[in-house]
Amino acid sequence: MPKMLFAQRTSQVTAIASVATAMLLAGCSTTEVDPTAGWSPNKIYSEARDEASTGSFDKAVPLYEKLEGRAAGTPLAQQAQLEKAYSQYKSGEKAQAIGTLDRFIKLHPASEGVDYALYLKGLVNFNENLGLFSWVAKQDLSERDQKAAKDSFEAFRELVTRFPESKYTPDAEKRMRYIVNSLAQYEVHVARYYYERGAYVAAINRAQNAISEYKEVPAQEDALYIMMLSYERLNMNDMAADAKRVLEASYPNTTLLSKGFRREDKPWWKLW
Q: What is the pLDDT of residues 185-222, one digit of tens each?
A: 889 999 999 999 999 999 999 999 999 988 888 899 99
Q: Give residue 27's pLDDT band: very low, low, confident or very high (50, 70, 90).
A: low
Q: 114 in a domain, yes or no? A: no
Residue 23 is predicted with a pLDDT of: 54
Residue 98 is predicted with a pLDDT of: 96
Say which DSSP state 163 is in.
-
Q: 63 in a domain, yes or no? A: yes
Q: 85 in a domain, yes or no? A: yes
pTM exceeding the 0.75 threshold for the entire prediction: no
Residue 50 is predicted with a pLDDT of: 96
The DSSP annotation for 83-122 comes to HHHHHHHHTT-HHHHHHHHHHHHHH-TT-TTHHHHHHHHH
Q: 21 in a domain, yes or no? A: no
Q: 190 in a domain, yes or no? A: no
Q: How far is CA 183 from the centre of its chain?
A: 15
Length of the chain: 272
Say yes or no to pLDDT of 4 above 70: no
pLDDT > 70 in the chain, percent: 78
CATH number of the domain that residue 62 is part of: 1.25.40
Count the domains in the chain.
1
Alpha helices of the chain — where are they, by DSSP H? Answer: 2-29, 41-53, 57-70, 75-90, 94-107, 114-132, 147-162, 169-196, 200-213, 219-233, 237-250, 256-259
The radius of gyration of the chain's CA atoms, rounded to the nearest angstrom, is 30
Q: 204 in a domain, yes or no? A: no
Q: Can you give the residue range of the structural domain that contains 74? A: 41-106
Q: How far is CA 88 from the centre of its chain?
A: 12
d(CA 147, CA 186) in angstroms, rounded, equals 13
Q: 184 in a domain, yes or no? A: no
Q: 94 in a domain, yes or no? A: yes
Residue 271 is predicted with a pLDDT of: 43
Residue 146 is predicted with a pLDDT of: 77
Q: Give residue 20's pLDDT band: very low, low, confident or very high (50, 70, 90).
A: low
Q: Check the CA dihedral 248-254-257-262 and report its sign.
A: negative
Cβ-contact 116, 89 below 8 angstroms:
no
